[in-house]
A and B are shown apart, each in its own frame.
Chain A
Amino acid sequence: MSAKWFKFVGGLYRSSSAYAAVFVLLSVSLILMSLSEHPNIKNLRAFSFNVFAVFASAGNHITSVFGTNKEIEELKKENAELMLEVSRLRKLGIENEELKGMLSIKDSSSYSLVASTILARSVSPSEYNLIINRGKDDGVSVGMPVINDLGLVGVVYNVAGDHAIVHTLKNTRLKLITRLEETGVTGVLRWDGNRLILPNLPKTADIKPGERLLTSENSSIINVPIPIGYVIRVLNPESGLFNQLQIKPYVNLDRLDHIYVVKKVFGKEINGIELNYLKSE
């Protein structure tokens, strides 16, 4: 009797093992997704991508033998610094005009750039991430903006000893408070998997294609004005209560070579209040 019973259970097990496996694995993946922002999970990820990045770094050293000119690297870094400076000066210029000579007290701290190399990319329509060769050991920490000489690339999401993961603008999980330069309208920029959009803007705002979009001083992640892109069109001019803009980023993520982490101690402290994006840090 018991032998028959074991045979029956064994047979059932064999026929349903794939179903059991899919059930267990899907459950585990759902649990992992729900816990993905937990600090312990983030530490695990930092460890794992650090291990992976060591190999990626070795591969990168091999390819860099055919490498890039040092002088070009330095010039690109200088361009990035100048881009930040120009952006800050443009903002001050517009404010100066608006305030008609009133003193504007703005952040006067300098920007320190950490030159980085992209070791690997994770590309999908929903998430475009970069793994770079700079981490905690270089003073890089979570939330620091990453730029190149054209504008904002993304934000540091996770750091290990000497590597970091950067969430680029084309990542559905990155949401940034941004400001249109001329009209001063602010909105939350996000990647919808297909386009970079700025939704829920008032219809009354006179926004025209071509207007530059910058990071906003109201952002708890990046509160220095860094160019992001420009408006290419209003998506729903005739319908709805709000306007939705499509933004063209200045940075072409597929052609990135030199990028820089803005190692800046922000003049405007957030006093521990962070957006949900960085809440777990």
Chain B
Amino acid sequence: MSKFEIPVFILTAVVLIFIQITLVPIISVNRYIPDLLLIMVVFLSLRKGQFFGTVSGGVIGLIYDLASGNLLGSGMFAKTLSGFTAGYFYNETTSSTVLRSYRFLLIVILAALINSSVYHIVAGYEISYGFVSLLLSSIIPDTIYTGFMALPVIFYLNFRGESIG
């Protein structure tokens, strides 16, 4: 890892948090918005490994909680778990290939399901209506939208072509 990588990751995370709070709500569909930060966490997990993904998930979630006014710790909790889960699919030798293939999309979808489920439960969603209701009304739409927004990342990585490992 080069000495510039960590500052670049932090800067990218801060810019993405800024975009997530200021610009992304403009493209919300019936309150459902894509989670760009989660895509970044999954990307880091698949590129740098489970430990890095877990820590970056926690840090990005914490900064987002601080900047957004959400329940402090809720985003951190959800994104830590998402980064940790995505890290299971890390493989040093196939990392570049995975990030350019449909597998990245599937991992984003899995991580988004975990992120959204955990976030809603810890952030105070009225679970008395049942998990199925939560799943249909919030988790699945959020997940689909986040997965959709991961497609440009895959296209970009394929377009760029060079090694990203």
New A-B contacts (13) at CB < 8 Å, excluding given A18-B84, A125-B138, A194-B133 = A33-B77, A33-B122, A44-B66, A48-B66, A49-B66, A121-B21, A122-B69, A127-B71, A167-B69, A170-B31, A172-B124, A194-B129, A194-B138
Question: Are B69 and A131 in contact (CB-based, < 8 A)?
Answer: yes
Interface size class of A (residues with CB under 8 A): 35 or more
**A129 CB within 8 Å of chain B:** yes
Cα(A45)–Cα(B62), bound, Å: 11
Chain A residues, Cβ within 8 Å of B124:
126-127, 172-173, 193
Nearest chain-A residue to B120 (Cβ)?
Answer: A126
A26–B25 alpha-carbon span in the complex (Å): 27
What is the CA–CA distance of A129 and B20 in the complex, to the nearest angstrom? 13
Q: Using an 8 Å CB-CB cutoff, how does the interface string of B96-131 with A read, 1 for contact, 0 for none?
A: 000000000000000000000001101111100100
What sequence of 0s and 1s flags, for each residue 18-34 of chain A, a beta carbon within 8 Å of any chain B beta carbon?
10011001101111110
Docked CA distance A60–B57 (Å): 28
Q: How far is the CB of A247 from chain B (nearest CB, A)?
A: 15
Interface status of A55 (Cβ within 8 A of chain B): yes
Q: How far is the CB of B59 from chain A (nearest CB, A)?
A: 9
Residues on B with beta carbons closer than 8 Å to the beta carbon of A41:
72
Count of chain B residues near A, Cβ 8 A: 48
Q: Mark A97-116, 1 if CB is under 8 A from B, else 0.
A: 00000000000000000000
Residues in A with CB closer than 8 Å to B62 are: 29, 32
Q: Taking the complex as formed, is A79 at the interface, i.e. its CB lies under 8 A from any CB of chain B? A: no
9 examples of A-B residue contacts, CB within 8 angstroms: A29-B61, A36-B72, A45-B69, A45-B72, A49-B69, A52-B66, A126-B123, A129-B70, A157-B69
Q: A32-B73, A165-B69 are known contacts. Are A22 and B18 too (CB-CB below 8 A)? A: no
The answer to whether B126 and A48 have CB atoms under 8 Å apart is: no
Contact partner of A29 (CB less than 8 A), chosen from B58, B68, B120, B142, is: B58
Asked if B155 is at the interface of the complex by the 8 Å CB criterion, the answer is no
Knowing A32-B73, A124-B119, the reply to whether A49 touches B125 (Cβ < 8 A) is no
| Any B CB within 8 A of the CB of A119 | yes
Q: Who on chain A is nearest to B21 by CB?
A: A120
Whether B28 sits at the interface, judged by CB under 8 Å, is yes
Tell me the bound Cα distance from A59 to B133 in angstroms.
37
CB <8 Å contact, A22 and B80: yes
Contact status B69-A25, CB under 8 Å = no
Instruction: Decide if B80 touches A29 in the complex (CB within 8 Å).
Output: yes
> B58 is contacted by which of A21, A120, A158 (Cβ under 8 Å)?
A21
A-contacting 9-mer, from B1-9, B47-55, B156-164: B47-55
Name the residue of chain B whose CB is nearest to the CB of A52: B67
CB distance from B125 to the nearest CB of A (A): 4
Bound CA span A172–B119, Å: 13
Q: Are A192 and B125 within 8 A (Cβ)?
A: yes
In the complex, chain A residues whose CB is within 8 Å of the CB of B21: 52, 56, 120-122, 131
In the complex, are the beta carbons of B125 and A172 less than 8 A apart?
A: yes
> Known contacts being A126-B123, A172-B124, is A158 close to B74, with CB within 8 Å?
no
A82 located at the interface, meaning its Cβ lies under 8 Å from any Cβ of chain B in the complex: no
Residues of B with C-beta under 8 A to A28:
58, 73, 76
Are A254's CB and B73's CB within 8 A?
no
A21 — which chain B residues lie within 8 A by C-beta? 51, 54-55, 58, 84
Contact with A along B58-98 (1 / 0, CB 8 A): 10011001111111111011001100100100000000000
Quick check: A33 and B51 within 8 Å, CB to CB? no
Contact B69 A158 (CB under 8 A): yes
Choice from B54, B73, B76 contacting A18 with Cβ under 8 Å: B54
Flag whether A260 is at the interface (Cβ < 8 A): no
Judge if A128 is at the interface, Cβ distance under 8 Å: yes
Q: Interface code A159-199, partner B: CB below 8 Å = 1, 0 otherwise?
A: 00000010100101100000000000000000011100000
Contacts known (A18-B51, A167-B69); A193 close to B22, Cβ less than 8 A: no
Contacts of A236 in B (CB 8 A): none
CA A26 to CA B75, docked complex, whole Å: 11
